[in-house]
Amino acid sequence: MTPKNDLLLKALRREEVERPPVWMMRQAGRYLPEFISLREQYDFFTRCQTPELAAEITVQPIRRFPLDAAILFSDILVIPQAMGMDFEMKPNVGPWLEKPIRTAEQIKAIQIPDVEETLHYVFEAIKLTKKELNNEIPLFGFAGSPWTILCYCIEGKGSKAFDTAKSFCFQHPIAAHELLQKITDTTIAYLLKKVEYGCDVIQIFDSWGGMLSPKDYDEFSWPYIEQIVNAVAEKAPVTVFAKGCWYALEKMSQSKASALGVDWTCSPKTARKLTHNNITLQGNFDPSRLFSTPDTIQRMVKEMIDEFGTTGYIANLGHGILPNVPVENAQAFIEAVVGYKKVG
């Protein structure tokens, strides 16, 4: 059933609209006081793995702001967890894997799980969230790209450069490709289930794609993302956000993806040129710019929309919202899009 507010779906089909739809990456989260109060009661993965909490966190920003889409509260690391890797979220450290993957033997031992069994809590959260949303707006489901997941699995934690993960791939390419394929197969099964349970749109986050050279991106990241896009696009529109990968925009625009995310280092004009204006673009407001005054934010948002144009465009940030952004500044960003008027 089409949501009552289908502005996002229209933008994904490149239909003409009065204004672009708006949502924010990480909108269900850490900048909201109501999220912080839950965070003080439950640890991170408890929130992800408790359907009632995940659904509640998903709809918190929807109660506050006139957003055009919700995104299910979850984490990209639920995939490697389902594959038997014991990730935890360490305070002041972030993602942490006690025994990172460092050998081909470890990779051979990894099983592709039954996602219905291992990730049932995500699908239950989708059902509860859909009930809460009452068909008002579309719901995004998401997953990390296989390359981004591999980075965490081999590095064992976050990193500025993921040198350990990269050097493993360059020294043991056959093993690396085996791991990437296992992550890809698991991710496809997971995302198809997400659509089956009610997600209207799927987003793939390639957060660490920009760590790779264009040539290495073509070997270790894009082919696996494209496998996922090809499998899922038959069932639901797919958006791909590859941070730092402006060089791949042209190639990605020729895929079955419905939209491509753009970060703040690539101008709207350049993004349109690279994609030959034949695909919907999403982005690209610098999240740090949400520390500007509300007046400045509203002026800059209008300029951003003027540059991208209203057709084939979804207003968003160029990466996730930062935790200490004032709520009123997030509101200024959203309201600037909702109140956008074309001149002339």
Q: Which residues belong to the active site?
A: 26, 30, 39, 75, 152
> Which distant-in-sequence residues (6+ apart) come within 8 Å of 309 by Cβ?
272
3 state SS for 206-247: ECCHHHCCHHHHHHHCHHHHHHHHHHHCCCCCEEEEECCCHH
Q: What is the DSSP letter of 292?
A: S
Give the CA dihedral 36, 40, 42, 45, nearest 10 degrees: 60
- Residue 254 annotated as lining a ligand binding site: no
- Residue 26 annotated as lining a ligand binding site: yes
Output the six-digit token pair for 159.
């990193």
Strands (E), the chain: 70-71, 87-90, 94-97, 139-144, 201-206, 238-242, 259-262, 280-285, 313-317
- Residue 45 annotated as lining a ligand binding site: yes
- Residue 28 annotated as lining a ligand binding site: yes
- Residue 207 annotated as lining a ligand binding site: yes
- Residue 217 annotated as lining a ligand binding site: no
- Residue 29 annotated as lining a ligand binding site: yes
- Residue 319 annotated as lining a ligand binding site: yes
Ramachandran region of residue 298, left (φ > 0), alpha (ψ -120 to 50) or beta? Answer: alpha
Residue 160 corresponds to which amino acid? K
Q: What is the largest CA-CA distance in the chain?
A: 64
Classify residue 18 as exposed, middle or buried by CB count within 10 Å of its CB (0-12, 13-18, 19+).
exposed
- Residue 313 annotated as lining a ligand binding site: no
- Residue 172 annotated as lining a ligand binding site: no
Provide the annotated binding site: 26-30, 45, 75, 152, 207, 319
Provide the annotated binding site for substrate: 26-30, 45, 75, 152, 207, 319
